[in-house]
Every structure is written in C-alpha cells, then in structure tokens.
Amino acid sequence: MELAYYSDYAVRLVNTEEPARNKDSLTSVEAVRELFGEASQMARRVTDADVTRFRSVRARLRAVFTAADEGDHTHAVDLLNSLLLEFPVSPQISGHDHLDDEGRPRWHMHLADHPSNATAGYAAIAAMGLAFHLTEFGADRLGLCQAAPCRNAYLDTSTNRSRRYCSDRCATRANVAAYRARKRLEAERTDQVGREALDDDHTGLTAENSQESTTSGERRRPGVTGR
C-alpha cells in the first residue's frame, strides 16, 4: 500500500458530516468500522468510545481542509503537524499481496496498526496520508466543495489545479445553478431595457402633446389691434 493511498482516509472521515445540511453519518460503531475499508483488523478494535473520539479527529481534519481552502496554508500545516505529533505513525516495509511478474514482492511503505486504539490508528494513518499529499502536491490541492450547501472535502489531482467540486454531481449542479442565474440576469436586464424604452416613449409623447397644446393655444389666442 503506497502512502498516497492513506490521504483518502482523511477525506472519508471528514465527509461523514455535512454541517450545512445538519447531517452526520458517524453515529455508531458500525459506521466507524466502515471507514477502515480493507483494514479489517483495526476495524474489529472499534468500541463505542471511538465514535466520540473519531468525531473529534474529524473536526480537526476539517479545520486543515478549511484553512487550505481559504489559502492559509501555514495554518493548515500547523494544524496537521499537531495531529502528526499526537498520533505518530509506525512505518513498515511490506510486500504482501504485491508480486511482480517473477513472483517477487513489490516492496512498498506500509503504516502498521497503532497499538493504542482504533481512533489513534485511524488518525495516524489519515494525518500521515494527508501530510504526504500536501508536501508532494501542495496545500492548494486540499479543498472544500464550492457547490453550496455541500462542503465535502476533496483532494485535487487535476493536471491544472482546476478542481472546485467534490464530485461530478456537485459540478453539474453548480453549473446548472450558474446557468439559471445568468438567464435570470439576462431576463431582468431585458425587462429593464423594455421599461426604460416605454418610459422614453411616454416622456416623448408627453412632451409632444404639450408642444401641440401650446401651439394650438397660440393659434386660438385673439390678436391685439391698435386704435
């Protein structure tokens, strides 16, 4: 397992909560266990106490993404360093289940299970994976979805650093909303132009009628005769 893979642990945990929608799926031992994915050995160690501890780590990881998304990269690094200090990793070289064409192990770095508890193990993996991604690709590659009200975390892996949404679904929803907003603005401008044209016509007609009334009055006014 490569270290880059571990960064997804942080994303998965952060996205168990949708603050703007007041939704939280991290409410049970089973929900916590699902976050581990293939790491079933660690998942079996989850207890009720880990639910609360996982939520605490989640808030700290979201703060890292928020700081990075707002452009405060130094603060993002400081927050991530505090997690790395509190939850240190135990790296190991592994080759299990990864063999080359000649049957030899494909050696790679692997993060060993944490001896303390499930939360400490997951937090160590998530923080280390996120740190690896940040130092390898840059803090600006950590983002929060721009499609309101969604604020899911994501890792930007695009070639031109252009990602702004957590999924294709949110990107489509944002594009549709932007299109409708443009159409409303165009309609409002057209309506405004129409109202201004009517006002101009009304003003012109009023001035013309006034001029005609003045002219008619002058024609009707009796002339002054001398004695």
What does DSSP assign to residue 18? E
Per-residue pLDDT of 42-98, as tens digits, reads 888 999 999 999 999 999 999 999 999 999 999 999 999 999 999 998 788 877 666
Per-residue pLDDT of 88-141, as tens digits, reads 987 888 776 667 777 788 787 777 766 678 999 999 999 999 999 999 999 999
Closest CA to 53 of 116, 138, 101: 116
Tokens standing for 107? Answer: 């050696």
Q: Are 39 and 126 in contact (CB under 8 A)?
A: no
Q: Are 15 and 7 in contact (CB under 8 A)?
A: no
Q: Whole-prediction pTM value?
A: 0.74
Whole-angstrom Cα distance, residue 124 to residue 116?
11
Give bridge partners of residue 105 from the DSSP assignment: 99
The secondary element (H helix, E strand) that includes residue 93 is strand 91-94
